[in-house]
Each structure stands twice: as C-alpha cells, then as structure tokens.
Chain A
Amino acid sequence: MGKRGQRAFERTLVCVIQALMGLELLVELRNDLSIRGILDDCDNAMNVIIKDATVEDVEGVQKQLPLVFLRGSNIRFVHIPDNVDIMKLVEERRLMLDQAATAYTGKGAPAPKPQASVTTA
C-alpha cells in the first residue's frame, strides 16, 4: 500500500471507474438517459469516453453512437459489472501507474505511455 494516496485522485473513488477502462458498463445520467458501452477513458473529473454506445432515454428509444464524450458532472450512477474483482483491478491499475512513473524518472528515454491520461497537479 506504499504509494497509495500519493496521487490526489487515488484518495477518491474515481480510481474505481478508471480501473474499469476497457469493460462494458452502464452509465446513468442526471437527465435520466442511460448509456451502455465500452469505457474507453476516464479522467480524474470522471469525464468519460464511451465507445460503441447505446443511448437509451426514459421512453426506451435507443440510439447507437460510436463514440461519446460525457462530462463527469452529468453522471448519476455507474453500474459496475458484477463479475469483476474490483479491488484487483484497482490495484493492477495503481501498479501500472507506479511503473509508468518510474519509467518517466529513468534515464530520459521515452517511456511507454500509460493507458489513461494521468495528470498530477
């Protein structure tokens, strides 16, 4: 648990959403729309990019959108798929970020870009 809490966003639950990148999930918005699709990216403000999205409104009308950017403040719920081990995913992601950080402070060679955008400020 050494480096946990060094990054500000790791003291919030956004890291749980970020750990679900690449998985299909359902996001419910504050305006009662729901978007089901593959989580492509999530930043520290919970803004998300969802691929191959199906947007459904209260009446059940569906729309297919290949790529959706959703501002995080519009999210009400995120349905987490219940066949995943959340803690394992969060720890794996934290490990990857630690490794990426180590690579950046290395000899100056370009490091592999981590999967998600990590802003530390």
Chain B
Amino acid sequence: MATEEDSAVKEPLDLIRLSLDERIYVKLRSDRELRGKLHAYDQHLNMILGEVEEVTTSVEIDDETYEEIVRTSRRTVPYLFVRGDGVILVSPPLRTS
C-alpha cells in the first residue's frame, strides 16, 4: 500500500503508484488478463483490484483442419487480491476491447 505521497518518479514501481485508484490492465501468466481498479499494490506486485474483469484465453488446434481456435472466457469479480508472482505486466487500460 502506498505510504508517503512522493510525487517524484524514481523507480519503475513509482509508475504503478501513479495508477492507484485508476483502472489498469494486468497481464498474468497462464494467458490471463485483468482489467480493474487498482486499490493497492506492493513490491512483489501483489495487488488488490476492484470491479475486475478477468479474461482467460485458450487456443485449440483442430485435429483435421489444423486451424487455431482462439477461445476467451470472461468473468467479473468485485474485489480481488492478486498474488504478485503471477503478474507479467501492468499498464493503463488499452483502447481495444
């Protein structure tokens, strides 16, 4: 959780601090993505997100045609704690989808 309000951006984690209370996009391992409001984070990138939509992507390869079928499933969670070791990247939400 953020401690003193220091507006100087000294290290990469400070960039995340700028996104506190804003909606962010988080890419996780296992082909998952989250979009939600960042309430808290720490140096491990453990995060608490509010009103978060999780998108899980899976790719299946058809046995006969060998084409890739991309499937996504979504769900919404009101208040979620995310363990930092699963986080790949954090960003302001992208314009698409």
Nearest CB on B from A66, distance (A): 24
How many residues in A have their beta carbons less than 8 Å from beta carbons of B?
A: 20
A13 to B48 Cα, complex, angstroms: 8
Stretch at the interface among A49-57, A73-81, A107-115: A73-81
A-B contact count (CB 8 A): 51
- Check: B83 CB closer than 8 A to any chain A CB: yes
Nearest CB on B from A42, distance (A): 11
Q: Which of B28, B30, B48, B85 contacts A16 (CB 8 A)?
A: B48
Cβ A16 vs Cβ B83 within 8 A: no
Interface residues of A, Cβ cutoff 8 Å to B: 5, 11-14, 16-17, 30, 46, 72-73, 75-82, 86
8 A-B pairs, CB-CB below 8 angstroms? A11-B42, A12-B42, A12-B43, A13-B44, A72-B83, A76-B82, A79-B80, A80-B80
